[in-house]
Chains A and B, each alone.
Chain A
């Protein structure tokens, strides 16, 4: 909670000012009945018409000032809560961007989305409600207490006891409410997840006519969200009746204790009546408090969920190292395990010189993509050294490391933005650069035929393009900033062979000197590589040129023969 509260700090002055104004408004409103009493008790019996008009005018003025103060204070409160939330959301998103991939996997995208949207909203509500509605009631309680202490300390002690009890109740109830709201928020994560899955999987779900099943799945999450919220809400619902009851018990005690005191001649009966009216005033003020408790508990639960992200430790630090290698890219006895899968990669060892091409071939699930993830330091290798640009990848800063790469991942999706922005990809590249990259990626022809060319808006995930067109835009994106190292992970799987061949030729022509890493199921895309790695269950079983492997690696030869139908031998 402390971290989120810290966001209040820059606004302490404004919030204090707003609270002070709200306070003033409350005092002004409290003064109204006093003036009213004066009219009826003093001026009316005296028949002083002038004074009546004067006091009446005064009341109107006070009412106007109170309204003015309230509006101003409400606006200031709204502004401060908005700024705090904006700042918090900004920092949260910024932190999400810097989470390591392992952390992202652990938190899951749905939960991150939910924290960024639903949880920041609850925190917003909490700050807003405290500032707007949380001032009057405590003020009246405290003020009433001071007044009563001045008048009759013994009865005030009764009140104090009741107040202590009330606060304890609030504390106890809230303490039980917060973890329940945290649970409710987790239940909402599941709702978010299923909505996301249905949006992205709509074609498959419909093709399998599984809408009914999806509805059932959603219903499970929906019902558990309902249960969790009900549980939390019912816990919190006890706060108001309980505090009301305690305050009222105080009232009864005042009468009883007062009776004893009157009996002993220590006070006048009239004072009991005065006390009772204060109490009523205080009670009126607590009417809206129940809601504030709810908002606070929800807010605290959400704040904790947000802090979980904000405080996630940086688990991928730069580890300075002077070690150098002659290789542009390489691995030295690298092993890696993930998701509890035995070993995704074991003892990987290879080197590649600048400007060379590396091909990676392997059966499905043999660790090809893992190898690339390690080169990009998306994950840290468990053992061994990864060389990038002749340096230990772990010793390079994020910018230095990743600025060198252009990558096409196999499961990447396009942005819901223009073709241009999808290629430029937030790097602010010129239209010439984007056009050149599109040409190399064999995408220019179809881009030109789009209604607005480069400025055509793509649907979500680029749904208005064919699979091959999408792939070519991703390749253009990877090429656009003229990377030193280009990684194509199954980037041509949706391309026909002719286009794929033209693509590879264009890359060699337009990007001479680029170090190329190609993962493909197609031997045709790999056979010109200076070095081809054959991966099997996370182990590099063979490496060398096409010719070498054809000769020495039975598996490679078999694959080539299967694909080429004997044409390659």
Chain B
């Protein structure tokens, strides 16, 4: 499983292969320099001699100079290696975040209905950061340790292969022990990342609902719920830490015991005549060189675990099933006449609770079709299906005779302009928000669209006008103003089909009247699909579809439906009180 994780991660390391390959070379040089320095220091001490007044100063200073040069160079190389690794680490994190986000933007809408944004944030920020820490700092330390250990081990083999046998017992023992503990600890680290994600998910949602929480004065209860998540996340964090606390020390223990074993067996061998005292002494010295780096590396084990778990969570996100892509024979969708047909469409978000039952309707190209009906009748669902947010479970939807599933997905969506009930604004300037969906729009076009949507005056009243940056998705901008911005946005697109889902529900009638000219203009030569409660908006439609019980209950023009005296007539009567 670990190798599998590495394989999945390898794709992100590969672009940095060259840099990573240079590092071992640099590391070897650095370590050689670090090894050369003690040699020089030995010579320097020799030059000092043992007698006062007979110090060979030129020799001392020559060697001291050499030491200084070695250390200086080694420090410089160290810095280079460290910063290189840091850049690699940042590069990999950057690529991971990018890959995660790219995948996120490909996920179907229902993913976002069930996965809290906070959890995504946690994966893309916290989990990636954990992986990054391993690459930027732990790798360096591990690399240095491996080199020192390998070098010392070779020396040991040279001095006494028999005594080295001790390590053939202790090294596999630590490996087995580590493996065993890692296995036990791994799920705990997974849980820790997951609980942290859950905490973030909760916090993100609740901080966004603070206004309501304050208004109802339920801060205490909210804090208590937060504390439950907080406690669980902290607990999970601690459990993983607690379980992994033994990882480093236990490896060290075996390491220390092997030191004791060597001295004991070495002594036995010496007494048996199999080893000289000098060899024993240098053997012990070299094995001591082991312990420092091993101790530091062993302390990293728990962090490696944490980042393995974190990496898994990031990679799991990458493995999420993206939205159905384009078929190989996809139709490009360059231009629509705008003939829309719903043919016995069956759909339910939960298939056991169908929303649309055999929905059949035809909207002629260039016409204005209105959909009315009680809330929850499936009006917005029609739009979602048309946009291919969901696939119908039965029947078909065609535009110009071609099933929507056959069009290229983005092509299809670009041909449809949409204004939803809840307008989405992002943290950019107002101008950017209006030009969203029409990236090439000039400032004049933007202003013109804003004027047509009757939002220009509001924008110019803001301190920075069109360059005012919206924070928090446009907090402080009313729903009606948002809708007008969305209409301005829609006016800038060159779509063939216009969909207005309660687009003006929060706009006052007067303003609605004022923008009707712009709307008229927008509708010209396009098929228009309007969902509205306000029947005044609907009256001029070429065809009104009355939705009820998942199907079309009545259809016709305003006059025809009033005459028929059915649901529409009743709704109409309710509006006029």
Contacts and interface: CB of A to CB of B under 8 A. Distances in A.
B557 to A, nearest CB: 16
A72 B479 CA distance: 57
A379 to B, nearest CB: 10
Given A364-B481, A412-B212, A493-B506, A105 B67 contact: no
A469 interface: yes
Given A195-B121, A415-B205, A415-B209, A252 B230 contact: no
A237 B463 contact: no
Given A47-B271, A67-B253, A426-B218, A75 B125 contact: no
A290 B230 CA distance: 30
Contacts of A451: 350, 352-353
Contacts of A44: 266-267, 270-271, 277, 280
A288 B413 contact: no
Contacts of B411: 209
Given A255-B44, A460-B205, A407 B215 contact: yes
B568 to A, nearest CB: 11
A369 B471 contact: no
Contacts of B507: 364, 521
A1 interface: no
A60 B258 CA distance: 9
Contacts of A389: none
Contact of A446 (B106, B218, B223, B376): B376
Interface class of chain B by DSSP = helix
Q: List 6 tightest A-B contacts by C-beta distance, closest first.
A: A468-B375, A364-B480, A265-B52, A63-B256, A78-B241, A201-B424
Nearest to A73: B245
B424 A113 contact: no
B330 to A, nearest CB: 14
Contacts of A45: 277
B213 interface: yes
Given A63-B257, A195-B120, A287 B141 contact: yes
Given A63-B253, A364-B506, A209 B413 contact: yes
B125 A191 contact: yes
Interface in B261-281: 261, 263-264, 266-268, 270-271, 277, 280-281
Interface string A463-492: 111111101100001000100000000100
Given A237-B83, A263-B53, A211 B106 contact: yes
Given A108-B471, A244-B71, 20 more contacts: A44-B266, A52-B264, A55-B263, A63-B259, A89-B230, A90-B223, A96-B207, A117-B196, A121-B196, A194-B427, A203-B384, A222-B94, A259-B47, A263-B53, A276-B38, A364-B506, A376-B215, A460-B116, A481-B216, A500-B574
B250 interface: yes
A290 B137 contact: yes
A109 B89 CA distance: 29
A223 B136 contact: no
Given A63-B253, A67-B250, A410-B478, A109 B271 contact: no
Most B CB contacts (10 A, CB to CB) among A68, A114, A206, A472 go to A206
B24 interface: no
Interface stretch (A3-11, A159-167, A321-329, A560-568): A560-568
Given A36-B259, A222-B101, A284-B292, A416 B506 contact: no
A56 B257 CA distance: 9
5 contacts: A29-B256, A97-B219, A200-B117, A226-B94, A376-B215
B479 A524 contact: no
A248 B37 contact: yes
A515 B241 CA distance: 55
B297 to A, nearest CB: 9
Contact of B76 (A214, A219, A241): A241
A524 to B, nearest CB: 5
Given A113-B203, A364-B506, A564 B67 contact: no
B109 A206 contact: yes
Contacts of A206: 109, 387, 389, 413
Interface string B380-405: 10001001010000000000000000
Given A63-B257, A215-B105, A226-B94, A259 B211 contact: no
A112 interface: yes
A148 B45 CA distance: 18
A168 interface: no
B203 to A, nearest CB: 5
A262 B48 contact: yes
Contact of A74 (B234, B249, B422, B476): B249
Q: Which of A363, A463, A522, A555 has the most CB of B within 10 A?
A: A363
Contact of B203 (A116, A200, A411): A116
Interface string B493-511: 1000000001001111111
Nearest to A64: B253
B243 to A, nearest CB: 9
Interface stretch (A266-274, A345-353, A430-438, A506-514): A266-274
A297 interface: no
A287 to B, nearest CB: 5
A170 interface: no
A459 B113 contact: yes
B1 interface: no
A512 B491 CA distance: 46
Contact of B462 (A74, A340, A559): A340
Interface string A381-411: 0000000000000000011001101110111
A311 interface: no
B214 A402 contact: yes
B281 A85 contact: no
Contact of B75 (A198, A241, A527): A241
B373 interface: yes
Given A201-B424, A252-B67, A407-B215, A117 B102 contact: no
Contacts of B367: none
A339 B90 CA distance: 37
Interface in B42-91: 44-45, 47-50, 52-55, 57, 60-61, 63-64, 67-68, 71-72, 74-76, 78-79, 82-83, 86-87, 89-91
B143 interface: no
Contacts of B172: none
Contacts of B215: 376, 378, 402, 405, 407, 409
Interface in B115-135: 115-118, 120-122, 124-126, 129, 132
Interface string B401-435: 00000000111011010101111101110000000
Given A195-B124, A498-B574, A249 B213 contact: no
A210 interface: yes
A42 B45 CA distance: 25
B68 A252 contact: yes
A93 B41 CA distance: 57
Interface string A190-226: 0111111111111111111111011101110011011
Contact of B288 (A36, A273, A291, A364): A36
B541 interface: no
A341 interface: yes
A107 B211 CA distance: 15
A70 interface: yes
A35 B281 CA distance: 13
Interface string B88-109: 0111011001100110111001
Nearest to B513: A562
Contact of A272 (B45, B120, B200, B208): B45
Contact of A365 (B114, B350, B480): B480
Nearest to B55: A263
A86 B234 contact: yes
Nearest to B298: A70
Nearest to B300: A288
Nearest to B137: A291
Interface string A240-282: 1110110011011001101110111100111011001000100
B114 A363 contact: no
B217 to A, nearest CB: 5
